[in-house]
Structure 1
Amino acid sequence: MPALFSDQWVSLYGDAWNSDPELSGALAKIGFNSTIAYGFQGEDNPRCYIKVEGGSVTESGAYSGQPLSWDLRASPADWDKWMSKGLGMMSLGIAYTTGKLKFKVGDYTAMVKNPAMAGPFIKSFSAMGRVPRD
Protein backbone atom coordinates (compact mmCIF):
# COMPACT_ATOMS: atom_id res chain seq x y z
CA MET A 1 0.00 0.00 0.00
CA PRO A 2 1.26 3.49 -0.73
CA ALA A 3 2.38 5.89 1.97
CA LEU A 4 0.13 8.83 2.67
CA PHE A 5 0.80 11.72 0.24
CA SER A 6 3.25 9.67 -1.87
CA ASP A 7 3.13 9.87 -5.69
CA GLN A 8 1.24 6.58 -5.84
CA TRP A 9 -1.20 7.62 -3.12
CA VAL A 10 -2.03 10.98 -4.72
CA SER A 11 -2.54 9.31 -8.11
CA LEU A 12 -5.05 6.90 -6.55
CA TYR A 13 -6.66 9.83 -4.73
CA GLY A 14 -7.13 11.58 -8.07
CA ASP A 15 -8.85 8.44 -9.41
CA ALA A 16 -11.12 8.30 -6.33
CA TRP A 17 -11.92 12.02 -6.74
CA ASN A 18 -12.79 11.65 -10.42
CA SER A 19 -14.99 8.59 -9.83
CA ASP A 20 -17.14 10.37 -7.23
CA PRO A 21 -19.97 12.30 -8.93
CA GLU A 22 -20.75 14.17 -5.69
CA LEU A 23 -17.21 15.52 -5.82
CA SER A 24 -16.03 15.86 -9.41
CA GLY A 25 -19.53 16.18 -10.84
CA ALA A 26 -20.57 18.85 -8.36
CA LEU A 27 -17.39 20.82 -9.00
CA ALA A 28 -17.77 20.47 -12.77
CA LYS A 29 -21.11 22.27 -12.48
CA ILE A 30 -19.36 25.36 -11.10
CA GLY A 31 -16.34 25.11 -13.40
CA PHE A 32 -13.98 24.57 -10.46
CA ASN A 33 -10.29 24.90 -11.31
CA SER A 34 -7.66 24.76 -8.60
CA THR A 35 -4.30 23.39 -7.56
CA ILE A 36 -4.57 21.84 -4.11
CA ALA A 37 -1.65 20.67 -1.97
CA TYR A 38 -1.67 18.42 1.07
CA GLY A 39 0.91 17.95 3.77
CA PHE A 40 1.82 17.95 7.42
CA GLN A 41 1.90 20.83 9.87
CA GLY A 42 5.39 21.98 10.73
CA GLU A 43 6.88 21.15 7.34
CA ASP A 44 8.04 23.89 4.99
CA ASN A 45 6.36 22.45 1.91
CA PRO A 46 3.36 20.27 1.23
CA ARG A 47 3.98 16.65 0.26
CA CYS A 48 1.75 16.34 -2.81
CA TYR A 49 -0.70 18.19 -5.01
CA ILE A 50 -3.60 17.70 -7.38
CA LYS A 51 -4.55 19.96 -10.25
CA VAL A 52 -8.30 20.18 -10.77
CA GLU A 53 -9.71 21.41 -14.08
CA GLY A 54 -13.44 21.59 -14.65
CA GLY A 55 -13.99 19.63 -11.43
CA SER A 56 -11.75 16.65 -12.33
CA VAL A 57 -8.20 15.87 -11.30
CA THR A 58 -6.04 16.17 -14.41
CA GLU A 59 -2.59 16.04 -12.79
CA SER A 60 -1.11 14.88 -9.50
CA GLY A 61 2.25 14.18 -7.94
CA ALA A 62 4.88 15.23 -5.48
CA TYR A 63 4.85 18.94 -4.75
CA SER A 64 7.73 20.70 -6.51
CA GLY A 65 6.92 24.38 -6.36
CA GLN A 66 3.65 24.54 -8.29
CA PRO A 67 1.62 27.72 -7.66
CA LEU A 68 -1.18 26.75 -5.26
CA SER A 69 -4.78 27.77 -4.80
CA TRP A 70 -5.03 25.73 -1.58
CA ASP A 71 -2.46 24.23 0.81
CA LEU A 72 -4.00 22.06 3.52
CA ARG A 73 -1.99 20.91 6.52
CA ALA A 74 -2.71 18.72 9.52
CA SER A 75 -0.92 16.22 11.73
CA PRO A 76 -0.60 12.62 10.50
CA ALA A 77 -2.96 11.51 13.29
CA ASP A 78 -5.64 14.03 12.27
CA TRP A 79 -5.36 13.12 8.57
CA ASP A 80 -5.75 9.47 9.56
CA LYS A 81 -8.79 10.21 11.71
CA TRP A 82 -10.54 12.24 9.01
CA MET A 83 -9.78 9.67 6.32
CA SER A 84 -11.05 6.83 8.50
CA LYS A 85 -14.14 8.51 9.95
CA GLY A 86 -14.88 11.21 7.42
CA LEU A 87 -15.50 14.85 8.14
CA GLY A 88 -18.74 16.81 8.42
CA MET A 89 -19.41 20.54 8.43
CA MET A 90 -19.36 20.73 12.23
CA SER A 91 -16.15 18.70 12.60
CA LEU A 92 -14.58 20.76 9.78
CA GLY A 93 -15.39 23.96 11.66
CA ILE A 94 -13.94 22.55 14.87
CA ALA A 95 -10.80 21.32 13.07
CA TYR A 96 -10.30 24.76 11.54
CA THR A 97 -10.98 26.83 14.67
CA THR A 98 -8.78 24.64 16.88
CA GLY A 99 -5.93 24.78 14.35
CA LYS A 100 -5.96 21.06 13.60
CA LEU A 101 -6.60 21.81 9.93
CA LYS A 102 -4.57 24.70 8.59
CA PHE A 103 -5.11 26.46 5.30
CA LYS A 104 -1.62 27.79 4.52
CA VAL A 105 -3.02 28.97 1.19
CA GLY A 106 -6.71 29.42 0.40
CA ASP A 107 -9.72 31.18 1.87
CA TYR A 108 -11.49 28.84 4.31
CA THR A 109 -14.25 31.35 5.07
CA ALA A 110 -15.15 31.91 1.42
CA MET A 111 -15.17 28.15 0.80
CA VAL A 112 -17.49 27.24 3.70
CA LYS A 113 -19.90 30.06 2.84
CA ASN A 114 -20.31 28.65 -0.67
CA PRO A 115 -22.41 25.43 -0.56
CA ALA A 116 -21.27 24.55 -4.09
CA MET A 117 -17.71 24.30 -2.72
CA ALA A 118 -18.24 23.26 0.91
CA GLY A 119 -20.13 20.06 0.11
CA PRO A 120 -17.51 18.76 -2.32
CA PHE A 121 -14.73 19.79 0.08
CA ILE A 122 -16.27 17.51 2.72
CA LYS A 123 -16.59 14.76 0.09
CA SER A 124 -12.88 15.05 -0.71
CA PHE A 125 -12.09 13.53 2.70
CA SER A 126 -14.30 10.54 1.90
CA ALA A 127 -12.42 10.11 -1.39
CA MET A 128 -9.14 10.18 0.57
CA GLY A 129 -10.49 7.47 2.84
CA ARG A 130 -11.06 5.15 -0.15
CA VAL A 131 -7.33 5.18 -1.00
CA PRO A 132 -5.39 2.36 0.65
CA ARG A 133 -2.32 3.52 2.55
CA ASP A 134 0.41 2.38 4.91
Structure 2
Amino acid sequence: MAELFSEEWMQSFKEHWNSEPELSDALAQINFNSVIGYGFPGEDKPRGVITIENGKATAAGAYNGETMNWDLRATEEQWTKWMSKPPGMMGLGAAFTTGKIKFVVGDYKGMLKDPRMAGPFIKSFSVMGRA
Protein backbone atom coordinates (compact mmCIF):
# COMPACT_ATOMS: atom_id res chain seq x y z
CA MET A 1 0.00 0.00 0.00
CA ALA A 2 1.27 3.45 -0.90
CA GLU A 3 2.06 5.97 1.83
CA LEU A 4 -1.00 7.94 2.90
CA PHE A 5 -1.46 11.12 0.79
CA SER A 6 1.61 10.37 -1.38
CA GLU A 7 1.48 11.00 -5.14
CA GLU A 8 0.69 7.33 -5.79
CA TRP A 9 -1.97 7.17 -3.05
CA MET A 10 -3.68 10.35 -4.26
CA GLN A 11 -3.82 9.01 -7.84
CA SER A 12 -5.52 5.87 -6.57
CA PHE A 13 -7.91 7.99 -4.48
CA LYS A 14 -8.78 9.99 -7.61
CA GLU A 15 -9.65 6.82 -9.55
CA HIS A 16 -11.81 5.48 -6.73
CA TRP A 17 -13.48 8.89 -6.26
CA ASN A 18 -14.58 8.92 -9.89
CA SER A 19 -15.87 5.34 -9.76
CA GLU A 20 -18.11 5.98 -6.73
CA PRO A 21 -21.53 7.33 -7.82
CA GLU A 22 -22.50 8.32 -4.26
CA LEU A 23 -19.54 10.67 -4.30
CA SER A 24 -18.76 11.90 -7.82
CA ASP A 25 -22.28 11.75 -9.28
CA ALA A 26 -23.84 13.24 -6.15
CA LEU A 27 -21.40 16.16 -6.27
CA ALA A 28 -21.86 16.57 -10.02
CA GLN A 29 -25.57 17.20 -9.38
CA ILE A 30 -24.67 20.34 -7.39
CA ASN A 31 -21.83 21.40 -9.73
CA PHE A 32 -19.30 20.96 -6.92
CA ASN A 33 -15.86 22.38 -7.72
CA SER A 34 -13.09 22.40 -5.17
CA VAL A 35 -9.44 21.89 -4.40
CA ILE A 36 -9.13 19.69 -1.31
CA GLY A 37 -5.95 19.18 0.66
CA TYR A 38 -5.31 16.36 3.12
CA GLY A 39 -2.64 16.13 5.75
CA PHE A 40 -1.61 15.94 9.35
CA PRO A 41 -1.90 18.43 12.24
CA GLY A 42 1.06 20.68 12.91
CA GLU A 43 2.42 20.57 9.37
CA ASP A 44 2.71 23.81 7.39
CA LYS A 45 0.98 22.46 4.31
CA PRO A 46 -1.19 19.53 3.26
CA ARG A 47 0.56 16.44 1.92
CA GLY A 48 -1.89 15.53 -0.84
CA VAL A 49 -4.40 17.43 -2.94
CA ILE A 50 -7.30 16.49 -5.17
CA THR A 51 -9.03 18.83 -7.64
CA ILE A 52 -12.75 18.31 -8.19
CA GLU A 53 -14.59 19.77 -11.19
CA ASN A 54 -18.35 19.22 -11.37
CA GLY A 55 -18.02 16.36 -8.90
CA LYS A 56 -15.28 14.51 -10.78
CA ALA A 57 -11.66 14.32 -9.66
CA THR A 58 -9.61 15.82 -12.48
CA ALA A 59 -6.20 15.98 -10.80
CA ALA A 60 -4.56 14.50 -7.73
CA GLY A 61 -1.11 14.25 -6.27
CA ALA A 62 1.35 15.73 -3.84
CA TYR A 63 0.61 19.29 -2.71
CA ASN A 64 2.37 21.77 -4.97
CA GLY A 65 1.25 25.19 -3.77
CA GLU A 66 -2.37 24.99 -4.95
CA THR A 67 -4.89 27.35 -3.35
CA MET A 68 -7.15 25.23 -1.17
CA ASN A 69 -10.91 25.45 -0.79
CA TRP A 70 -10.65 22.76 1.88
CA ASP A 71 -7.63 21.68 3.93
CA LEU A 72 -8.40 18.75 6.23
CA ARG A 73 -6.07 17.54 8.95
CA ALA A 74 -6.14 14.55 11.28
CA THR A 75 -3.54 12.21 12.70
CA GLU A 76 -2.47 9.28 10.54
CA GLU A 77 -4.01 6.96 13.12
CA GLN A 78 -7.34 8.81 12.88
CA TRP A 79 -7.36 8.81 9.06
CA THR A 80 -6.65 5.06 9.09
CA LYS A 81 -9.44 4.44 11.58
CA TRP A 82 -11.95 6.39 9.44
CA MET A 83 -10.86 4.57 6.30
CA SER A 84 -11.62 1.20 7.86
CA LYS A 85 -14.80 2.39 9.59
CA PRO A 86 -16.11 5.66 8.12
CA PRO A 87 -17.71 8.04 10.62
CA GLY A 88 -21.38 8.92 10.47
CA MET A 89 -22.68 12.45 10.92
CA MET A 90 -22.60 12.16 14.72
CA GLY A 91 -19.07 10.76 14.74
CA LEU A 92 -17.85 13.45 12.40
CA GLY A 93 -19.45 16.16 14.52
CA ALA A 94 -17.79 14.74 17.63
CA ALA A 95 -14.45 14.54 15.82
CA PHE A 96 -14.73 18.19 14.81
CA THR A 97 -15.75 19.29 18.31
CA THR A 98 -12.91 17.38 19.97
CA GLY A 99 -10.32 18.45 17.40
CA LYS A 100 -9.74 14.99 15.90
CA ILE A 101 -10.34 16.57 12.50
CA LYS A 102 -9.33 20.13 11.78
CA PHE A 103 -10.41 22.27 8.87
CA VAL A 104 -7.47 24.59 8.24
CA VAL A 105 -9.45 25.94 5.28
CA GLY A 106 -13.14 25.35 4.59
CA ASP A 107 -16.54 25.93 6.13
CA TYR A 108 -17.26 22.75 8.10
CA LYS A 109 -20.52 24.00 9.58
CA GLY A 110 -21.83 25.21 6.22
CA MET A 111 -20.98 21.88 4.61
CA LEU A 112 -22.76 19.89 7.32
CA LYS A 113 -25.89 22.00 6.98
CA ASP A 114 -26.13 21.05 3.29
CA PRO A 115 -27.03 17.35 3.00
CA ARG A 116 -26.05 17.45 -0.68
CA MET A 117 -22.46 17.99 0.50
CA ALA A 118 -22.48 16.22 3.88
CA GLY A 119 -23.44 12.79 2.51
CA PRO A 120 -20.69 12.73 -0.14
CA PHE A 121 -18.17 14.07 2.41
CA ILE A 122 -18.87 11.11 4.67
CA LYS A 123 -18.74 8.76 1.65
CA SER A 124 -15.26 10.08 0.84
CA PHE A 125 -13.86 8.32 3.92
CA SER A 126 -14.89 4.87 2.66
CA VAL A 127 -13.49 5.76 -0.77
CA MET A 128 -10.19 6.67 0.90
CA GLY A 129 -10.13 3.17 2.33
CA ARG A 130 -10.04 1.74 -1.21
CA ALA A 131 -7.07 3.88 -2.34
TM range (shorter): over 0.9
Instruction: Give the Cα separation in 1 of the matches to 2:121 and 2:82.
Output: 12
Q: CA deviation at 1:50?
A: 0.2
- One-letter amino acid matched to 1:92: L
Task: List 4+ stretches of structure 1 deviating above 6 A.
Answer: none
The equivalent residue for 1:29 is: 29
Q: CA deviation at 1:130?
A: 1.0
For residues 1-40 of structure 1, the aligned pairs below 5 Å read: 1-40=1-40
Instruction: Give the Cα separation in 2 of the matches to 1:44 and 1:7.
Output: 18
Instruction: Give the Cα separation in 2 of the matches to 1:79 and 1:126.
Output: 11
Q: Aligned-pair RMSD on alpha carbons? A: 0.5
Q: CA deviation at 1:106?
A: 0.2
TM-score scaled to structure 1, two decimals?
0.96
Q: Deviations over 1:88-122 (max 9, x none)?
A: 10100010000000000000000000000000000
The equivalent residue for 1:57 is: 57
Identity fraction in percent: 60
Q: Which runs of 5+ in 2 are unaligned?
A: none
SS in structure 2 of the partner of residue 22 of structure 1: coil
Instruction: Give the Cα separation in 2 of the matches to 1:74 and 1:93.
Output: 14
Q: Which runs of 5+ in 1 are unaligned?
A: none
TM-score scaled to structure 2, two decimals?
0.99
SS in structure 2 of the partner of residue 43 of structure 1: coil
